[in-house]
Structure 1
């Protein structure tokens, strides 16, 4: 029987006016915290999630960080309703900015996040975010990420919801800028198989409270 919950394919084409509402399974955020930036003193650090959707990334971030502020351009019933690219966030106003932005705005989100974050930025994006002359010349060359953390497991993302039975043909990676390691060259690291260890049944209950 065909899986009707097939997630984002490699050649996904969203309308230009789409909100790009593809929530992140919480285990993928825990993978960042456990396998990529586990050195961060989370209990002393603040975090901003500026494309929070229904809170599927904010909740695992709140398991570690001292405080997490959540916002989104669209009101999904969770967090503040704010345009991250236009709202007057203070420079260095948060220790970390961690998010899965709309892919078409991922570079702009990364640039803005690097202004807002004191210590680091982590952007979840399709692996093909590495490509593009514009991104290379505008973002990666002047401000190379500290880590490109590639998932060896696929991270299925379904439009408008998270689904434990979904599958995908798309590869994802975390692009991480750690400002405490500015002189370090970009490192390619792999996030090992970890979904079975980091996934929880309650992850698939829709977040419906504000944060």
Structure 2
């Protein structure tokens, strides 16, 4: 994600809680971040920590927050009470085609039954949340070099959520 964002933003700061070979080591949920210290927080958080990511990101970002999450992220009384009641996203962009995600690697042949969407919070936006769809675009946007990125060592991934 960071590699592509660098094509559109002047500066991108990448981080993860563990060393996966890209970006700095920084646990976004645990480590201290200054309020309003970045323009945007754009992330694909681990699903079980997505609520914590959103809450932290809303305090850190000056302009907005965008998370790539399972569509079912909208379902939960706990998330409704913690996030959506007081800070609903300004946009909910559902992928119309399935987005296969394989832990630690890219795979052209991967498939999935899981639906994903972008949830976006924009500080300057007014009005009700906007529902939209991301049209089919995977074949149009993928490039052969996307699959030449170094693969992550699977042994690193097995320890990712050890606290």
TM-score > 0.5, shorter chain as reference: yes
- The Cα of 1:86 is off from its aligned counterpart by 2.1
Unaligned residue ranges in structure 2 (runs of 5+): 152-163
Aligned to 2:81: 137
**Is 1:168 equivalent to 2:91 in the alignment?**
no
Aligned to 1:128: 72
Aligned to 1:72: 16
Aligned to 1:103: 47
What is the root-mean-square deviation of aligned Cα atoms in Å?
Answer: 1.1
State the TM-score, normalized to the length of structure 1. Answer: 0.70
* Other structure's SS at 2:64 match: strand
* 1:29-108 alignment runs, 5 A limit: 57-108=1-52
Structure possessing the higher relative contact order (Cα contacts under 8 Å, 6 or more residues apart): 1
State how far apart, in whole Å, the 2-side matches of 1:157 and 1:195 are: 12
State how far apart, in whole Å, the 2-side matches of 1:89 and 1:67 are: 18
* Other structure's SS at 1:67 match: coil
State how far apart, in whole Å, the 1-side matches of 2:53 and 2:16 are: 12
Aligned to 2:149: 206
Give structure 1 regions of 4+ aligned residues with deviation exceeding 4 angstroms: none
- The Cα of 1:207 is off from its aligned counterpart by 4.6
State how far apart, in whole Å, the 1-side matches of 2:107 and 2:83 are: 33
- The Cα of 1:180 is off from its aligned counterpart by 1.4
